[in-house]
Chain A
Amino acid sequence: MFENLSEKLDKAFKVLKGQGSISEINVAQTMKQIRKALLAADVDFKTAKSFTSRVQEKAMGEKVLTAIDPGQLLTKIMKDELATLMGSEQSDISLDGSPTVILIAGLQGSGKTTFSGKLALLLKSKKNKRPLLVACDVYRPAAIDQIGVLAEQVGVDVYQDRKNKNPVEIAQAAIKHAKTNGHNVVIIDTAGRLAVDEQMMKEISAVKSAVNPNETLFVVDAMTGQDAVNTAKAFNEKLNFDGVVLTKLDGDTRGGAALTIRSVVDKPIKFIGTSEKMDGLDVFHPDRMASRILGMGDVISLVERAQQQFDEEEARRVQKKIAKNQFGFDDFLKQIQQVKKMGNMKDLVGMIPGMGKAMKGVDMDDDAFKGIEAIIHSMTKQERENPKLLNGSRKKRIASGSGTTVVEVNQLIKQFSQMGKMMKMMQGGGAKQMMQMMKGKGGIPGM
């Protein structure tokens, strides 16, 4: 995410970086370019303007002109400013109340229902809650079915009443239902609505005052343009929401809404949606995002995610095998599955400093491992345990079995043996090992 903005800022900074000393005119020119980059990233016009003038002021105050490395100093100033703009602290959602009531609101197609499902999963798995999803979108065809399917996917209960077309009544009944059935969180998914649709805005206000939620979240598509400000303002006036959810951030380049909304409505961004999968929900870290925008990468997020997904026991088992030279294709397959669990590959690599730019346009989706998996699945048990068995005719059989070529099979075997050697060299802890694998680009075939 944000690759384009970083790229453009890079370009803007190059003007500075190339020169030992710079003039006031130079700074002004760079600022103009930064402003253009921000606008192209859909940052609100006024926000972009005030942001650049603030940076320029600070830059002058901190004597960027006489600094040894003006580009670096300016980068630091910008990063700090960006973090401030997006809210300097990370903010959690309130889980008070029994049950906790969370109301979800937003425009059509912003991703409310998907987010509701993700939030239910997050609260269930990380906070040990028993959430109840409530289907209050009585308008869109099959909306009730959609939330029902998602509830089943994440393994939580759903409250729906297909006969009732009154969201206020449904929400109230759902809370009653939650109380009698031991649900400690109620997540109310509502219909998408335009801020200018008075009737619909009245409806959601009515739902809010009827259920008195502990947390009202405004869901907004990260790709939203200049209109983000208007919409956020309008929803805030009607609902006085507590936080913002930014969805579809696994798309590319833009994120102007992230930069703007907080400063315009003075409400924190609490979650970001980062994939279509139900675990694709992250807490928003303003400081990390600021680093990311400036192309500094997000190592902390990467390590955290690796730690979350890495099975310590499995790691020890694999390590023993490596030490004994018994690392086989089955173990390799398991490793791949571990990596896949961490999420979208491109997303992960994008978090490594400097890689975001390098990876732009490079084919690297979750399916990058598909061919490898097919080849390994076409091997016999003996072959997987003892790769040395693989001779010409076996390779031929595997190639036709997996729909690949002998060349591809050979390639995998070669990369596999290289990887085995590499892994033997590293005998660190679990997460560290994963990090090494991530960094050694050639380490994982297909990357």
Chain B
Amino acid sequence: MGIFNFFSKDKKEKLDKGLEKTKENVFGKISRAVAGKSTIDELALDDIEEALITSDIGVETTLKIIGKLEERVAKNKYINTAELNDFLKAEISLLMKEGYDEIPKVDGPYVIMVVGVNGVGKTTTIGKLAHQFKQQGKKVVLGAADTFRAAAVDQLLIWADRVGVEIVKQDMGSDPASVCFDTLQSAKASGADVVIIDTAGRLHNKINLMNELTKIKNVMAKVILEAPHDVMLVLDASTGQNAIEQATQFTKATEVNSLALTKLDGTAKGGVVIGISDQFQIPVRYIGVGEGVEDLQVFNKNEFVDSLFN
């Protein structure tokens, strides 16, 4: 079963499999929409619109893409399916930022703070991430700053054991900012390379909880001036347009500078990241494509878009 299946073989296969539904949904429909037609007419444009919207790409982004397509069609009415695919691929690529996997050299440990609403998969992502860094030979310390949700600390503790990294924790209900302070001090003292902070899931419209997050973030600078170097927002691929509001509010509270998109191995299409990447100019850094410890991949824009088309 998922979690115990530590070393899954073919990463690419997983991604393709996960994205297959996306492909079927968007491009299957589009192919059908334009099949047997030598030109793109109103009706085909409507079908493309439907295909994009049902993939959670969103009304605004869809209209943006359709607008570009209309311009293109106005210039040249005789566009075929292959050209259409290329055109859409290019347009979607343009909307997305390039991801990155390297951790820049910093003075002391590189601190990643992981945030997001409830149930998106923050803790699981952290477990997988810790495993990747460990594999790269880095010394990793986890900070269990979700002191609110029942058994959240235990969950992270199991992950720390499983991948063999250190963890700093306090009792449930203790001040998360204080956990972060401890974690950073301990990591600094022990010469760790990477610190990953787990925070409690919170709905982005709860102002006090968002203020708490700002406080957690600010406390880190007291130990390491530039920390956190990376604030990573975890998004659930099955989330609809609300993800945009999540990105807005979390960015406001913590200056999010990277995204992780989870649960892409389900039927969810993940189209919402296209709009978010575009609107906030934040790169998707990782994608989750399974429950295994290895099922976290560095996001590659070209691969992602290619997987949609090939």
A225 touches B56 (CB 8 A): yes
* B53 at the binding interface (Cβ < 8 Å): yes
Q: Please, what's the 1-or-0 string for A131-148, where 1 marks a CB less than 8 Å from any CB in chain B?
A: 000000001111101111
Instruction: List residues of chain B with CB within 8 A of the CB of A234.
Output: 267
A226 touches B245 (CB 8 A): no
A231 touches B238 (CB 8 A): yes
* B189 at the binding interface (Cβ < 8 Å): no
- A226-B242 contact given A139-B1, A139-B3, CB 8 Å threshold: no
Instruction: List residues of chain A with CB within 8 A of the CB of B74.
Output: none
How far, in whole Å, are A345 and B297 apart by their CA atoms in the complex?
41
B54 touches A42 (CB 8 A): no
Query: Which of these, B55, B154, B203, B267, contacts A250 with CB under 8 Å?
Result: B203
A139 touches B2 (CB 8 A): yes
- A194-B205 contact given A221-B239, A225-B238, CB 8 Å threshold: no
Within B93-128, which residues are at the interface with A (CB < 8 Å)? 117-121, 127
B268 touches A252 (CB 8 A): no
Instruction: List residues of chain B with CB within 8 A of the CB of A111.
Output: 118-119
* Additional A-B contacts beyond A109-B118, A223-B236 (7; CB < 8 A): A40-B58, A146-B150, A221-B238, A228-B240, A251-B203, A251-B242, A252-B204
* B295 at the binding interface (Cβ < 8 Å): no
* A82 at the binding interface (Cβ < 8 Å): no
* A173 at the binding interface (Cβ < 8 Å): no
Q: Please, what's the 1-or-0 string for B243-274, where 1 marks a CB less than 8 Å from any CB in chain A?
A: 10100000000000000000101111100100
* B38 at the binding interface (Cβ < 8 Å): no
How far, in whole Å, are A226 and B55 apart by their CA atoms in the complex?
7
- Report 27 cross-chain contacts, Cβ distance below 8 Å, ordered by A residue: A39-B53, A45-B50, A111-B118, A139-B3, A141-B154, A141-B155, A142-B152, A142-B154, A146-B150, A196-B21, A223-B117, A223-B240, A223-B243, A225-B242, A225-B268, A226-B54, A226-B269, A227-B56, A227-B240, A227-B266, A234-B267, A250-B205, A251-B203, A251-B205, A365-B206, A366-B208, A367-B208
Within A219-254, which residues are at the interface with B (CB < 8 Å)? 221, 223-228, 230-231, 234, 248, 250-254
Closest residue on chain A to residue B120 by CB atoms: A109
* A256 at the binding interface (Cβ < 8 Å): yes
- Interface SS of B by simple majority: loop
Instruction: List residues of chain B with CB within 8 A of the CB of A256.
Output: 240
Q: How far is the CB of B200 from chain A (nearest CB, A)?
A: 9
Instruction: List residues of chain A with CB within 8 A of the CB of B214.
Output: none
Instruction: List residues of chain A with CB within 8 A of the CB of B267.
Output: 194-196, 227, 230-231, 234
Q: Please, what's the 1-or-0 string for A150-163, where 1 marks a CB less than 8 Å from any CB in chain B?
A: 10010000000000
* B225 at the binding interface (Cβ < 8 Å): no
How far, in whole Å, are A223 and B240 apart by their CA atoms in the complex?
6
How far, in whole Å, are A44 and B56 apart by their CA atoms in the complex?
10
Question: What size tier do the contact residues of chain B reach?
Answer: 35 or more
* B151 at the binding interface (Cβ < 8 Å): yes
Instruction: List residues of chain B with CB within 8 A of the CB of A146.
Output: 149-152, 154-155
Closest residue on chain B to residue A45 by CB atoms: B54
How far, in whole Å, are A142 and B269 apart by their CA atoms in the complex?
29
A108 touches B263 (CB 8 A): yes
- A42-B240 contact given A196-B266, A251-B204, CB 8 Å threshold: yes
Within B39-60, which residues are at the interface with A (CB < 8 Å)? 50, 53-56, 58-59
Instruction: List residues of chain A with CB within 8 A of the CB of B265.
Output: 194, 196
How far, in whole Å, are A146 and B157 apart by their CA atoms in the complex?
13
* A67 at the binding interface (Cβ < 8 Å): no
Q: Please, what's the 1-or-0 string for A353-383, where 1 marks a CB less than 8 Å from any CB in chain B?
A: 0000000000111110000000000000000
Instruction: List residues of chain A with CB within 8 A of the CB of B203.
Output: 248, 250-252
Instruction: List residues of chain A with CB within 8 A of the CB of B50.
Output: 45
